[in-house]
Structure 1
Amino acid sequence: MEQKALTKKAIELLKELISIQSFSSEEDKTADAIEKWFETFDIPFQRKINNVFAVNKYFDESKPTLLLNSHHDTVKPNQAYTKDPFRPHIEDGKLYGLGSNDAGGCLVSLLATFTHFYESENLSHNIVMVASMEEESAGKNSLRGLLPDLPNIDVAIVGEPTLLDLAIAEKGLIVFDAVVKGTPSHAAHPNTDNAIYNTIEVLDWFKNYTFDKISESLGAVKLTVTQVNAGSQHNVVPSQVDLVIDVRVNDKYTNAEIAEILKREAPCELKERSLRLNSSAIDKNHPLVKSGIALGKKTYGSPTLSDQAALSCQSLKLGPGDSTRSHSADEYIYVHEIEEGIDVYIKILNGFIKQN
Structure 2
Amino acid sequence: MKNHPILHKEAVSLLSELIATPSFSREEKHTSGIIEDFLIERGCVVERSGNNVWAFAAPFDRNKSTVWLNSHHDTVKPNSGYTIDPFQPLIKDNKLFGLGSNDAGASLVCLLSAFIHFLGIDLPFNLVMIASAEEEISGKDGIASIISQLPPCDLAIVGEPTEMAVAVAEKGLMVIDAKTFGKAGHAAREEGENAIYLALDDLQKIKSFEFSRGSEFLGKSKVSATVIHAGQQHNVVPDVCEFVLDVRVTDAYTLEEALEELKDQLAAELKPRSMRLQSSRLPKEHFAWSLIENLKLKTYGSPTLSDQALIPYPSIKMGPGDSARSHTANEFIYLNEIQEGINGYIQLLEAYSDLINNTI
Gaps of 5+ in 2: none
1:166 aligns with 2:166: yes
Change (3 A) 1:333 1:265: same
Which secondary structure does the structure 1 equivalent of 2:137 belong to? coil
The correspondence of residues 105-116 of structure 1 with structure 2, limited to 5 A, is 105-116=106-117
Equivalent residue, structure 2, for 1:74: 75
Change (3 A) 1:186 1:98: farther
Equivalent residue, structure 2, for 1:344: 344
Q: Distance in 2 between matches of 1:52 and 1:90?
A: 28
Change (3 A) 1:267 1:15: same
The alpha-carbon deviation at position 136 of structure 1 amounts to: 1.4
Change (3 A) 1:75 1:231: farther
Change (3 A) 1:198 1:14: same
Instruction: Write the letter of the residue equivalent to 1:115.
Output: I
The alpha-carbon deviation at position 193 of structure 1 amounts to: 3.7
Contact conserved, 2:58 with 2:127, CA < 8 A, in 1?
Answer: no
Which secondary structure does the structure 1 equivalent of 2:121 belong to? coil
The correspondence of residues 114-129 of structure 1 with structure 2, limited to 5 A, is 114-121=115-122, 123-129=123-129
1:175 aligns with 2:172: no
Q: Distance in 1 between matches of 2:233 and 2:106?
A: 49
Gaps of 5+ in 1: none
Equivalent residue, structure 1, for 2:282: 282
Q: Distance in 2 between matches of 1:240 and 1:339?
A: 57
Instruction: Write the letter of the residue equivalent to 1:8.
Output: K
Contact conserved, 2:72 with 2:131, CA < 8 A, in 1?
Answer: yes
Change (3 A) 1:335 1:238: farther
Equivalent residue, structure 1, for 2:39: 38
Q: Distance in 1 between matches of 2:229 and 2:89?
A: 40
1:288-337 CA-partner distances (Å, limit 9, x unpaired): 33323333321111111111122222111111111122222222222211
Q: Distance in 2 between matches of 1:304 and 1:9?
A: 29
Q: Distance in 2 between matches of 1:305 and 1:69?
A: 14
Q: Distance in 2 between matches of 1:180 and 1:94?
A: 52
Instruction: Write the letter of the residue equivalent to 2:332.
Output: Y
- Over the aligned positions, Cα root-mean-square deviation in angstroms equals 2.1
Equivalent residue, structure 2, for 1:10: 11
Contact conserved, 1:52 with 1:131, CA < 8 A, in 2?
Answer: yes
Instruction: Write the letter of the residue equivalent to 1:278.
Output: Q
Contact conserved, 1:179 with 1:270, CA < 8 A, in 2?
Answer: yes
Contact conserved, 2:185 with 2:192, CA < 8 A, in 1?
Answer: no
Instruction: Write the letter of the residue equivalent to 1:99.
Output: G
Change (3 A) 1:105 1:289: farther
Identity %: 49
Q: TM-score, normalised by structure 2?
A: 0.91
1:317 aligns with 2:317: yes
Change (3 A) 1:162 1:184: same
Q: Distance in 1 between matches of 2:116 and 2:348?
A: 15
Equivalent residue, structure 1, for 2:50: 49
The alpha-carbon deviation at position 216 of structure 1 amounts to: 0.9
The alpha-carbon deviation at position 285 of structure 1 amounts to: 5.6
The alpha-carbon deviation at position 124 of structure 1 amounts to: 2.1
Q: Distance in 1 between matches of 2:220 and 2:144?
A: 27
Q: Distance in 1 between matches of 2:333 and 2:100?
A: 9
Contact conserved, 1:218 with 1:302, CA < 8 A, in 2?
Answer: yes
Q: Distance in 2 between matches of 1:191 and 1:340?
A: 68
Which secondary structure does the structure 1 equivalent of 2:321 belong to? coil
Change (3 A) 1:272 1:328: same
Q: Distance in 1 between matches of 2:46 and 2:236?
A: 61
Q: How many residues align?
A: 354
Which secondary structure does the structure 2 equivalent of 1:353 belong to? helix
The alpha-carbon deviation at position 60 of structure 1 amounts to: 1.7
Q: Distance in 2 between matches of 1:4 and 1:97?
A: 22
Change (3 A) 1:78 1:230: farther
Instruction: Write the letter of the residue equivalent to 2:7.
Output: L
| Deviates most, 180-189 or 145-154 | 180-189
Equivalent residue, structure 2, for 1:155: 155
The correspondence of residues 291-302 of structure 1 with structure 2, limited to 5 A, is 291-302=291-302
Contact conserved, 1:93 with 1:335, CA < 8 A, in 2?
Answer: yes
Equivalent residue, structure 1, for 2:103: 102
Contact conserved, 1:158 with 1:315, CA < 8 A, in 2?
Answer: yes
Equivalent residue, structure 1, for 2:21: 20
